[in-house]
Amino acid sequence: MIRRPRLPVPEDFTAPSHSPLVAARLGLWLGVAFGLCFGTGLLSHYIQHPPGWFAWPTRPVNLYRVTQGVHVLSGVAAIPLLLAKLWSVYPRLFVRPPVRQPIRLSVHALERVSVLVLVCAAFFELVTGLFNVAQSYPWGFFFPTAHYAVAWLVAGAVLLHVAVKLPVARAALGTPLRGRTAARAAAPGRDESSERRAFLRTSVGVAGIAVLATAGVTVPWLRRVSPLAWRSASGPQGIPINRTAAAARIAVPPDWRLEIVWPGGRHTLSLADLAALPHRTAELPIACVEGWSASAHWTGVPVVELLRWAGAPTGRPVRVTSLETDGLYAASTLPAAHARDPLTLLALRINGEQLSPDHGYPCRLIAASRPGVLQTKWVARLEVLR
């Protein structure tokens, strides 16, 4: 069998931490973080804006909690890894192009363009993502749309960069860290391999600390050791909220009634009517797109049973409309799978208490494996769609 000769690893970096051996390994780890962040972010987008071919399961009940937690935490881990990667390669960014060799000049230009797009788009995603988890939006664009569009730009730039740098990366990944390059052999007394390993350990360690310091937002047993977690179990009735009744300008009318409509039929119920129906209690999480999540015991009427009781057809998507009139998420659509799931509740109580106004009084939707923005509060209407 003929073996291909291994390409030499460039030796023009000025320090062990700037070595291609270090840069390639950081690039691999950063690629994993970006891949997890992109994949789980794409899932979240499709759950909220499902194309016709997409279906999201209702089980396990914590599925969205896990995927969105991975999305945010992989983004957190990517920040120190990206900074370390830039540090490891920045001397190469100032190498003059080979102007007398057209082919190499074209490759050099393609590499520089891919790096520029990748770095700018990656920083945009990570920085705006941090602002989003803090629910701060000091810009004029709509965050979800911009974040989704630039994510594709990052994915394309990563693929282009990998294609350009693949020969060098393969050679670097195939070279042990403990090796000494010929260019360094004349510098006795300096242990380059130890410096490389120390830099890599520090980079991964900082990424791990960043994840541990924030993971409590979605991993309950880590909340006590996550000082930078942006949500906790605190909040009205022990569960955090993003939008209060006052912020949504909710005014529940004294004669509030729930309206259930379907093609060819309509039924209304008072709060007393809802309270008199058979109830079910289930432990379900609120999992928000910002990455935080918290579980509670919710008590209410299963939507599928409520529709049957009213005489409405089941097994179809259901449009859920709130008393809120001007919010971006004042209504949501339950896919057919969630609408017929017995754990999808029109909840009246949380942890044994009547819902507070901030948690959606008089009733709210709570369903398994759904983003918090789709768990509509202050429900006023259920519409069975065709």
Is the same domain home to 214 and 285?
no
Is the same domain home to 221 and 246?
no
What band does 313 get if pLDDT is binned at 50, 70 and 90? very high
What does the pLDDT average to over 257-267? 96
Let me know if residue 378 belongs to a domain: yes
The residue segments making up the domain with residue 25 are 16-182+190-225
The predicted structure's pLDDT at residue 25: 94
The predicted structure's pLDDT at residue 105: 64
Is the same domain home to 331 and 379?
yes
Is the same domain home to 71 and 199?
yes
Is the same domain home to 221 and 248?
no
pLDDT averaged over every residue in the chain: 89
Write the CB contacts of 121 (distance below 8 Å, at least 6 apart in sequence).
Answer: 150, 153, 154, 157
Let me know if residue 252 belongs to a domain: yes
For residue 155, pLDDT over 60 is answered with yes
Let me know if residue 230 belongs to a domain: no
Let me know if residue 97 belongs to a domain: yes
**Tens digit of each residue's pLDDT (9 = 90 or more) over 2-50:** 454 444 445 444 577 888 899 999 999 999 999 999 999 999 999 999 9
Give how many domains the chain has, as a whole number.
Answer: 2
What does the pLDDT average to over 340-364? 97
Is the same domain home to 172 and 285?
no
Buried b / exposed e over 123-144, threshold 16 CB at 10 Å, is: ebbbebbeebbeeeeeeeeeeb
Let me know if residue 232 belongs to a domain: no
Let me know if residue 373 belongs to a domain: yes
For residue 97, pLDDT over 80 is answered with no
**Tens digit of each residue's pLDDT (9 = 90 or more) over 107-145:** 667 777 888 889 999 999 999 999 999 888 999 999 999
362 exposed, middle or buried (CB, 10 Å; 0-12, 13-18, 19+)? Answer: buried
We report the CATH number of the domain holding residue 77 as: 1.20.950
pTM strictly above 0.85: yes
Let me know if residue 10 belongs to a domain: no
**Cα distance between residue 351 and residue 276, in whole Å:** 19
The predicted structure's pLDDT at residue 68: 96
Range in 6-10, 168-172, 245-249, 328-332 with the lowest mean pLDDT: 6-10
Is the same domain home to 316 and 203?
no
Let me know if residue 233 belongs to a domain: no
Is the same domain home to 220 and 278?
no
The predicted structure's pLDDT at residue 65: 95
Q: How far is CA 211 from CA 87, 226, 228, 253, 296, in A?
A: 21, 9, 9, 45, 24
**Tens digit of each residue's pLDDT (9 = 90 or more) over 241-256:** 999 999 999 999 999 9
Is the same domain home to 161 and 292?
no
The predicted structure's pLDDT at residue 72: 95
